[in-house]
Amino acid sequence: MSSVVDVDPPTSTGTGWYVYGIVASSTRPSDFAPGPSVDPAHEVELLVEGPLAAVSSKVSLGEFDEPAIAEHLEDPEWLEEKIRAHEQVLERTLAGASVAPFRFCTIYRSEAELRRLLRDRVAELSAALHQVQGRVELGVKAFADRSRFAECVSDAAGEESGRAYMERRLAERRSAEELGRFALEVAERSHERLLAAADAGTLMRVHSRELSGRSDEMVLNGAYLVRAGDDGLGRAVEDLREEYSAQGVTFDVTGPWPPYNFVGIEPS
């Protein structure tokens, strides 16, 4: 989850450089709105080197050095606050420029090491930025209403016999099996249709009802890379809603987000 680039001798004093992402060097500070960084004592700034610029801010190594981070990662309040700040910086940046995000808690101990990254990996970082240029990430989740789906597959099983208990259990088992097959069908067909309306897409693990906070069953959790302002994916989602509404499936779209799932930059 985190990475402190340990080139200089380890220290827990002074400041390091927290990197949120990479933008083109032509990006101006005025292209994204001011706001808090992960360390309120320091503002977000652009560190320009050649054709690239790092969206970064200074951070206290007393709080963000490797031993301190390992301890903070066990603190849910600290973690939530810093992740939110990290995401907000990237979202403000995305409002005015294309950005290739870095993972949470990527920290360089000195400006020299951060500039070396921008010089030595200019080809790789430029390619990553080019891949997401003018594009944003949209999330699509699909949920199935168990009770509504059961009505579609039961065919009034309770009317067939007076053995109410056994009939109910058999109907529940059949419904669960059918729901599993149906969920797989929805995920596969929906992902295929959404990919056709996007530049790229990826499937992620579906969340449990406890994690999603929904009583319905999550059957699709996808992320899609699309051109900013293009409504093709939105139209594809509307078509899916119409197709599956009778079976109790709903679709939620979130974003636009920075393209977290489409840039695989590792610190060095």
- Tens of pLDDT, residue by residue, the chain (268 residues): 455 554 444 445 688 999 999 999 999 888 777 788 999 989 999 999 999 999 999 999 888 888 888 888 888 999 999 999 999 999 999 999 999 999 998 999 999 999 999 999 999 999 999 999 999 999 999 998 877 665 655 544 444 444 554 455 555 555 567 777 888 888 999 999 999 999 999 999 998 888 888 888 899 999 999 999 999 999 999 999 999 998 889 999 999 999 999 987 776 6
pTM here is 0.79
CA-CA distance, 178 to 186, in Å (whole number)?
12
Taking Cα atoms as reference points, which of 227, 210, 209, 226 lies closest to residue 218?
209
Would you list the domain boundaries of the chain? 3-133, 136-262
CA-CA distance, 208 to 219, in Å (whole number)?
10
Side chain identity, residue 67: P
Phi-psi region of 188 (alpha: psi -120 to 50; beta: other; left: phi over 0): alpha
- CATH fold of 136-262: Alpha-Beta Plaits (3.30.70)
